Chains A and B, each alone.
Chain A
Amino acid sequence: MSLLEIKSMTHRFGGLKAVSELNISIEPGRVEGLIGHNGAGKTTVFNLVSGFYTPTEGNIIVDGQDTGGLKPHQVTALGVARTFQNIRLWKDMTVLDNIRISQHHRLGYSFFDAVMRTKRYMKRESEITAEAYKLLEELSLVDFANEYPKNLPYGTQRKVEIARALSVKPKLLLLDEPAAGLNSSDVVTLINLVKWISDNFPVTIWMIEHHMDVVMELCSHIVCIDFGETIAEGTPEEIRNNPAVISAYLGDDNI
């Protein structure tokens, strides 16, 4: 069974059809890619999957559960985490707090526990902190635990954002242009990081990316969309040689 199934999904912004009749299914345990040129509707697809928009038509099924009508934080609780094209960390809170706050869906205590500092509160807070430290250690970010994201270099901020998404313990991790704005050495680090995450965490990764070398290197399966419609899908090799993809990216020969 596929982890994520998008069934004939259409999304309109007023008169504009951003996504039309899209069918995509993501198999568990892989790194998959979503490509297409600017304005093709890639980020809209991610916004739809993460619950930020509700599709005008069609369904999104995550791990057998229809996400229709769920709020973004409920979709996150189902196991979908994401990063953003332009980094959206909480800039005035420490890296550790950034990770801890992302555990809101499984805090396991109430307002009164927090005010009364009950046993349950103490236990959950120390568990959450320990888990956060463990994750930071695994991603070798532990030195930045008490730093503010605004003081970190851009590449590290990206990594922290990926760490924050991973801390949700997602089944599906959506990476929206993780290589955007990174220099060439950071890109290499990123490729290794994504490979490492995919090998060491029980998570399926679906990424939007413009750097073709990153996509070709990482993804085992790629979907290419244009004007909100799938124009091609297959292995990197197939995509590279697909005439529809080439014409979408480079323009048609017979103009």
Chain B
Amino acid sequence: MKRYNVQIILAVALAILAYLAQEEIIGKYALSVLMFMGINVILSTSLNLVNGYMGEFSCGHAGFMAVGAYVSSVLGVMLFAKDKVFGPALLDPSLSIWVFPLIVIIGGIAAALAGLLVAIPSFKTRGDYLAIITIAANYIVISVVENIDTIGGARGFMGMKSVVKAMGKTIDMPWMPIWVFIFTILSVWIIRRFISSTFGKGVPAINQDEIAAEIMSVNTNKMKMVAFMLSSGLAGVAGALFAYILGYVNPGSFTILKSTEVLVMVYLGGMGSLSGSVLSAILFTLLLEALRPLQIIKWVVVPFLLILLMQFRPEGIMGNRELPDFFPRLKRFYAFKD
């Protein structure tokens, strides 16, 4: 019984979410907040893999998000929507319902390949120097997108709404919340399983002593490549979902500011704590929404909270620990270390 508890809870949660969205019991606004929460969870957990577990400082996460967003948007629009540039739909729009998850995953794969831009320099470079490389990677992606006119350049790219509508027309269900939910769970699940395996523990080994890791049989180059590609790939998935939720992407949404936002979530939750990252992503999303009435002053209050956090709890909400370290009773429902 213990083995299936979490799966059952998640399935029920998904069903309730789908029902509430379908019957429009929760409004469009609340639903979009929930979806952004999911995206932020993917972003912060995947960045934690590099910044927390591996101990590098990547600040170009939004760049990989942009790759995922653009690749999946262009692909989706090309296949299922009529577009000025890409012409009529290549496939029957009713197929979109089946192909959509594939499109999101392809966006993730493209972003993972873009992650090589950072992974390969990381073989020889560490710390501050690698951080500069990640910033450069972010700028490269943004500049490339801004200069390709076929995908709208700096004006942005749209048409994804019609793909989402086509999905809803085929089978009337709130598809976007469902997919965001599934991909969020999937991302956290992949990272957790990776990081708790002996294979994945090579990543914190690099963090704690890279020389020892290399000499004690860990192929550090391979581990760095896996960690960076997994991290940027999941950022790509988040970007793809982001694009389809908004129905519009422009390079301005993926600048270094967005990367910083993700960094804040990681540090808020605690480095090397997966549950911390999930928690802080949820809190941070809620906080930003709650402070919305303050308008522009919000960006004074939020950084100020960050200063307070760093002063009084520099290790983040969870520090290096996971949820069951705080609430041992949770272990009754789920075997955390397997």
Contact = CB atoms under 8 A, between A and B. Distances in A.
A222 interface: no
Interface string B197-211: 111111011001101
Interface of B: 190, 193-194, 197-202, 204-205, 208-209, 211-221, 226, 320
Interface string A104-137: 1101011100110100010001001000000000
B219 A93 contact: no
A76 B215 contact: yes
Given A73-B219, A128-B198, 5 more contacts: A73-B214, A73-B220, A101-B198, A104-B199, A111-B226
B201 A114 contact: no
Contacts of B217: 73, 76-77, 102-105, 168
Q: Is the interface of B mostly helix, strand, loop or mixed?
A: helix
Contact of B215 (A50, A91, A114): A50
A82 B217 CA distance: 11
A101 B218 contact: yes
B175 to A, nearest CB: 25
Interface string A58-78: 000000000000011100110
Interface in A73-92: 73, 76-77, 81-82, 84, 88-92
B212 A115 contact: no
A221 interface: no
B198 A89 contact: no
Contacts of A114: 193-194, 197, 199-200
Nearest to B201: A101
Interface centre among B199, B204, B205, B213 (most CB of A within 10 A): B199
B194 A111 contact: yes
Nearest to A167: B216
Interface centre among A89, A90, A101 (most CB of B within 10 A): A101
B201 A97 contact: yes
A125 B218 contact: no
A142 to B, nearest CB: 18
A104 B204 contact: no
For the complex of A and B, the 9 pairs showing the least CB-CB separation, nearest first, are A114-B197, A88-B212, A105-B217, A90-B208, A76-B217, A102-B216, A104-B217, A104-B218, A72-B214
A78 to B, nearest CB: 10
Nearest to A161: B212
A92 B204 contact: yes
Contact of B202 (A89, A104, A125): A104
19 contacts: A72-B215, A82-B215, A84-B212, A88-B211, A88-B212, A90-B209, A90-B212, A91-B208, A93-B204, A93-B205, A102-B218, A104-B198, A104-B216, A104-B219, A110-B199, A114-B197, A114-B199, A125-B197, A168-B217
